[in-house]
Chain A
Amino acid sequence: MARSAKRLTVGARKALWGWAFVVPALAFFGLFAFYPIINALVLSLHSKNVLSLRPPRFVGFQNYVDLWNSAQFWNSWKATGLFTVSTAVPLVLVSLLLATLIVSRLRLQRFFQMALYTPAVIPGVVAAAIWLMLLDPRGIANQWVNFVLGVSGIDRKWLASPDMVRLSTVLVYFWGKLGFFTIIFIAGLGGIPTSVKEAARVDGATGFQLYRYITLPLLKPTTLLVSIMAMIFCMRTFSTQYLFTQSGAPREPINVVTLGIYTTAIRDYQIGLASAMSIVLLVVMFVLAFLQFRASRTQDG
């Protein structure tokens, strides 16, 4: 080995070592990323019950047809869609506003960043558990909302009425992710060259004009990144909804796709159907990310 290695040129030896450094990663992604996806594609064409010893039975596209005809599946997409839109849009807008405000402070920038980021380091299940108490009929949420509205003793049914349960999951998620996106926006704002702003200022732009016509357009890559990330994060939401349903909130309004996949596979033992649901989720996320990416391209001309 040593002798043959010596005969190789320096470049070839480096290339060999290059392979050696990369092979563990290749093997890993092959086995734990690509193989499962292929496996999911194959399984989604089969009927397979976890409990039965019978091998998977080939059923063609029957699982997809079943999904198409399943009211529950459409409902879970409605739940995911509503959740994603009503969480991601406020997330992007509010984090942009907060980042803009923080960046224009001369003091305490770091304090505000850290304070807003704190919820992001609270584990998701813990966040959900705490919010379940805040949203309890006897909890602080009722107390504060009633105080602001100047009434007393009204139960807002945060965890009981379908729309309010949706809103509650949005609140939990929004709270947890706000600081994260604020910080990305702060980094984006910091990346805008001051020379451009100075030039606009010399030309007589006011603060608002400067923000509207210089800062926002230059911030577009960050805004795009944040919106795609927010959307993809929201579509992947699981623990909040899981904890809410486990603690007795109505399942139907918050039965998001990930929760649907989990229950189909684990509670109903239908691996084939769950795989088909996973593939649909994957395709939808790909398409959305691609469309958003392209929209940004064409606008730039």
Chain B
Amino acid sequence: MALQTQQVHGGGTRFRHTPVGVMGNVLGWMLLCFAVLLVLTPVAFMFIASFMPARDILKLPFSWWPQTWYFENFWHAIQGNDGRFIFPRALLNSVFVAGTIAVTTVLLSTMAGYGLTKLRFRGAGIVFMFILSTLMIPFETVMIPLYVVVTNLGLQNSYAGLIVPFLLSAFGVFLMRQSLLSFPDELLDAARIDGASEPGIFFRVVLPNMWPVMAVLAILTFEAQWDNLIWPLLVVQSSELKTMPLYVVTFMEEKSTNEGAMVAVAAISSIPMLIIFFTLSQYFLRGANVFSAGKE
């Protein structure tokens, strides 16, 4: 799969000098700037409002700059309404759960993809179809039966219960298989001639060469889990195990939550992913491309 950055050159440049072309061009810029402005408004609101006392946040008209910078919201947010500091714990839980899932998904998907492409065995085609067919099963349709399975395994209300159903994804196997199809066999055979074992080849030859695709898969997986509300909502009851999305919901429902603390919780919860996005943006943009590449 080609993973170059996308500087796409579209049509229309030839007509730039006709009056209609110039007008169209200006209109295009205006539309895009307007769209960006609208799209970024809620994000800007969140960060600006988090520095305002609650009574200023829902006030008409909203002032787009705080009169005085007010930091109490963040302290309130981190402490929680009961002063038990559950929120930082929830953030760490989310990092731990999403991080573990990202690592296992990448590792196990690459393993399966490698086995399916480069160590051809009879039945590999059927195995791949089997895995691919689960790609068509949306999580929401299996969540209740899955909840029954996890409860029967005694994993409810535990980290294992949060992690185990997502150890691996059909999409991951599919992505890694497609990417490994073009992996040069000569490299593998050379390692074999040098006497490397199959696991050795996998860890020392395959993994180091696949990291760009693996990084994309890791980021996509982490992002999806960071955002997962429905599963923790089903399996977790104790407040120590709550992940960030679940905590946000609980915090919102609490009576003593005010708008200031709420918006601060929202801002803090958004920051980790925003930082990752701005430092690794090319992987995110490629990540979306992966879906369109998958169709061929």
Binding site for B on A (CB under 8 A): 13-22, 24-26, 28-29, 31-37, 39-40, 43, 97-98, 100-106, 109-110, 112-119, 121-127, 129-131, 133-134, 136, 138-140, 142-143, 175, 178-180, 183-184, 186-191, 194, 197, 201, 206-207, 210-211, 215, 221-222, 225, 229, 232, 235-236, 238-239, 242-243, 246-247, 258, 261-262, 265-266, 271, 274-275, 278-279, 281-282, 285-286, 289
Contacts and interface: CB of A to CB of B under 8 A. Distances in A.
B292 A130 contact: no
Given A21-B112, A225-B295, 12 more contacts: A22-B127, A25-B173, A28-B167, A31-B149, A33-B142, A35-B149, A37-B145, A178-B39, A184-B288, A187-B288, A191-B292, A282-B138
Interface of A is mostly: helix
Contact of B227 (A29, A40, A109, A123): A123
A265 B42 contact: no
Contacts of A125: 227, 229, 245, 248-249, 269
A39 B43 contact: no
23 contacts: A14-B119, A14-B120, A18-B119, A20-B115, A25-B109, A28-B167, A37-B142, A101-B28, A104-B28, A106-B13, A117-B284, A118-B43, A118-B274, A119-B42, A121-B274, A123-B269, A186-B8, A194-B9, A206-B15, A265-B147, A274-B144, A278-B140, A285-B141
Interface stretch (B55-63, B73-81, B210-218): B55-63
Nearest to B5: A110
B145 A184 contact: no
Given A25-B112, A26-B130, A112-B32, A134 B45 contact: yes
A247 B253 CA distance: 7
B230 interface: yes
A129 B144 contact: no
A140 B170 contact: no
A246 B58 CA distance: 20
Interface string B262-276: 110110011001101
Given A225-B292, A261-B144, A129 B248 contact: yes
Given A15-B120, A18-B121, A28-B168, A133 B149 contact: no
A40 B145 contact: yes
A207 B28 CA distance: 14
B14 A207 contact: yes
Contact of A275 (B114, B145, B253, B273): B145
Contacts, number: 310
Contacts of A121: 223, 270, 273-274, 276-277, 284
Interface of B is mostly: helix
B262 A129 contact: yes
Contacts of A18: 115-116, 119-121, 124
Interface of B: 5-15, 21, 24-25, 28-29, 31-32, 35-36, 39-43, 45-46, 49, 57-62, 108-109, 111-112, 114-116, 119-122, 124, 127, 130-131, 134, 136-149, 164-165, 167-168, 170, 173, 198, 202, 223, 226-227, 229-230, 233-234, 244-245, 248-249, 252-253, 259, 262-263, 265-266, 269-270, 273-274, 276-278, 281, 284-285, 288-289, 291-293, 295
A282 B291 contact: no
Given A28-B167, A186-B6, A239-B230, A36 B145 contact: yes
A94 B227 CA distance: 24
A275 B144 contact: yes
B11 A211 contact: yes
Contacts of A113: 285
B253 A123 contact: no
B115 A19 contact: yes
Contacts of A247: 252-253
A301 B168 CA distance: 38
Nearest to B262: A129
Contact of A136 (B28, B58, B140, B253): B58
A184 B229 contact: no
A261 B119 contact: no
Contacts of B277: 114, 117-118, 121
Contact of B61 (A143, A210, A221, A285): A143
Contact of A126 (B31, B170, B266): B266
Top 3 closest A-B pairs, CB basis? A21-B115, A18-B119, A15-B121
A229 B42 contact: no
A261 B140 contact: yes
B8 A189 contact: yes
A32 B231 CA distance: 14
Nearest to A191: B292
Nearest to A246: B253
Contacts of B131: 25-26, 29
A211 B28 CA distance: 15
A189 to B, nearest CB: 6
